[in-house]
Amino acid sequence: MTDVLVDAPAERGIGHAVRRGLSGVAQLWLLAVIVAVWEVWTRTAGSPSFPPPSQILKELWDLYFSGPADHFFLTEQARTDFAPSLKNLFTGWALAGVAGVVLGLAIGRFRVAGLIVLPPLHFLRSIPPPTLIPFLLAVLDIGTPLQVTTIVFGVVWPVLLNTIDGVRSVDRLQLETARVFGITGARRLFRVVLPSAAPKIFAGLRVSLGFALILMVISELVGFGQGIGAHIIDAQHSFEMTQMWAGIVLLGILGCLFNLVFHLVERWALAWHGAARRNR
Amino acid sequence: MLEITDLTHSYGDHTVLEKTSLTVPDGELVSIVGPSGCGKSTLLRCVAGLISPVGGRVVLDGTPIDGVPDGLAVVFQDYSRSLLPWLTVRDNVALPLRRRGGSKAERRAAAEEALSSVGLHGAGRRYPWQLSGGMQQRVAIARALAYRPSLLLMDEPFGSVDAQTREDLEDLVLKVHRDEGMTILLVTHDIDESVYVGDRVVVLGRDPGGIRAELEVKLPSPRDQISTRADPDFVRLRTEVSRLVRGAGALEVPSEAAAEPQKESEPREEDTEET
């Protein structure tokens, strides 16, 4: 019997799940030890600049997550700090994502355009985005436009370069198949080129999301605006070290959360990719 | 009717096809066989309009081929790359049908029907990578069938499957040809296969690439993997083709050219196909 159906998950059985579970526990175990050492050390040292993690978590709780149930337990402070930060972050990331994919498709598709456009793009990419802030402060109002512009300029590059790479490395045979069967224009773009480039585009978007969080905070730290970063700098100015630490820990948690959600979305959207590679 | 006249093609200064002419009447199944590097895939790609030949012309039903002609489908050797892994089997088969018109439901029904005709009833919701190699190549054949081509090109379609699957797929091609009656050009390097499936066998040689011989295959139809292969006519034909292919690979070339070793860097079309 040669025509046997091969099911993707069959080879990833219980052993795999157990190993994954164990490695998860192992990671958490290390984290717990680090936090415990941190707690003991800061309590012994008693420095006001280094509050113990238990205090930081309590501060974080009181500041942001002790609100009423009908507001998802978010406090008033959480809404005033989170809303502008997350709005800027996701607006910037989304704009950069769209711009990166559209430009990347155009540049990747037309080789000559790529030859002309890529050198200046590589130069622009090499400029550290925060250095643009002094210039932007001069021409833009403090607040959303400045922050979103900073984020877009900083995070468009991974998406753009990965899209170019993805579009250029579409399998030749897939393109020939499209030609033979008269799949052209928009259908070719959406059914062949974009899906084929999707794994690379997603990789770019994931890197961009991390950068976007960094640039969001930087723009808030120097932009005298609102948001989590502004709260951190305000707390530092008023020597509220525990509140400052609460903001730092919160950003770490947000970073992990974004990564996790993105990972799940990517796994779902590119299910074919992982499975096809395993079965090849 | 497919008319190939004085077809010449070269990669760099390496001529793979020289002044090759071939006429295929409607409904004929022609096997093209030859040693590797003889230009058989190049010939097929010229007919498909995927490459423009350096010289000569290909005319399909009175229209010179310039770009991929409308009523043409191709089954490639490498099914795992030719099928799109992000589409289900049914969507892979239905994707080209947009060009043929009809509603989405009609296209899906046509896809299911084509899948049934290659023995893949009910596999439409699966993804290509969930199927075995032989089944994936069946999907590629179903995709070509649903497209209802008047000319079907098969480029070493069974080069990547095991022997048993290969025989099943050869019989599938014969059945498809009987049922649909389209013209089929099948490139292979398997001498037995060329005789078993072909109404006619065209033997190509290399350096320079071109047709060395054409042999009518007058074996009784329907053909059968056991009895046809035991038929004295089959044995005689396969011996003759075998001799021609071997001769085409080594002889009939000026001794000077034969002594010169093949340059590795030259893009022999067989190599570029199989990576």
- Where are chain B's structural domains? 2-30+48-214+237-253
Cross-chain residue pair B84–A276, CB shorter than 8 Å: no
Q: Express each pLDDT in B57-87 by its tens digit.
A: 999 988 898 888 888 999 999 998 999 999 9
pLDDT surpassing 50 at residue B273:
no
Cis peptide before B222 (omega within 30 of 0): yes
Domain boundaries, chain A: 1-46, 51-279
Q: Do A279 and B129 touch (CB under 8 A)?
A: yes
CB < 8 Å to A1, chain B:
none
Could you tell me the pLDDT band of residue A158, with boundaries at 50, 70 and 90? very high
- The tokens for B34 are 């030859």
Q: What is the pLDDT of residue A279?
A: 65
Q: Are B81 and A8 within 8 A, CB to CB?
A: no
Interface test with A, best of B86, B125, B271, B274 (most A CBs within 10 A): B86
Secondary-structure class of domain A51-279 per CATH: mainly alpha
B261 pLDDT more than 50:
no
User: A5 vs B130: CB contact, 8 Å cut-off?
Assistant: yes
The CA distance from A110 to the nearest CA of chain B, in Å, is 19
Minimum mean pLDDT range among A231-235, B114-118, B245-249: B245-249
The residue count for chain B = 275
| Strand-by-strand arrangement of the B14-24 sheet | B14-24, B2-11, B55-60, B63-64
Mean pLDDT of all residues in B85-109:
91
Question: Is the pLDDT score of B274 beyond 70?
Answer: no
pLDDT greater at residue B160 or residue B176: B176
Please, what is the average pLDDT of chain A?
87
B267 — pLDDT class (breaks 50, 70, 90)? very low
CA distance readout (Å), B46 to A13, A159, A180: 48, 38, 12
**pLDDT digits 0-9 by tens, B214-258:** 999 988 888 999 899 999 999 999 999 999 888 765 544 444 444
pLDDT of residue A1: 38
Please answer yes or no on whether B82 and A177 come within 8 Å at the CB atom.
yes
Test B86 with A8 for CB contact under 8 angstroms: no
Check residue B47 and give its pLDDT.
93
Which two structure tokens, joined as six digits, stand for A219?
């723009």
By C-alpha distance, which of A89, A158, A93 is closest to A121?
Answer: A158
Assigned fold of B2-30+48-214+237-253: Rossmann fold (3.40.50)
A-B contacts (CB, under 8 Å): 89
Per-residue confidence at A145, pLDDT binned at 50, 70, 90?
confident
Residues of B with CB under 8 A from a CB of A: 48, 50, 68, 70, 72-74, 76, 78, 80-82, 84-87, 95-96, 98-99, 126-132, 134-135, 143, 147, 161-162, 164-165, 168
Tokens of B171: 């019989």
Query: Is residue B182 pLDDT above 80, yes or no?
Result: yes
The per-residue DSSP string of A110-172 comes to -HHHHHHHHHHHHHHHHS-GGGGHHHHHHHS-TTHHHHHHHHHHHHHHHHHHHHHHHHHTS-H
**What pLDDT digit, counting tens, does each position of B186-222 carry?**
999 899 999 999 999 999 988 777 888 899 998 888 8
Q: Which residues of A touch B162 (CB under 8 A)?
A: 2
CB–CB of B129 and A195 under 8 A? no
Pairing of strands B63-64, B210-216: unpaired
Q: What is the mean pLDDT of residues A216-234?
A: 85
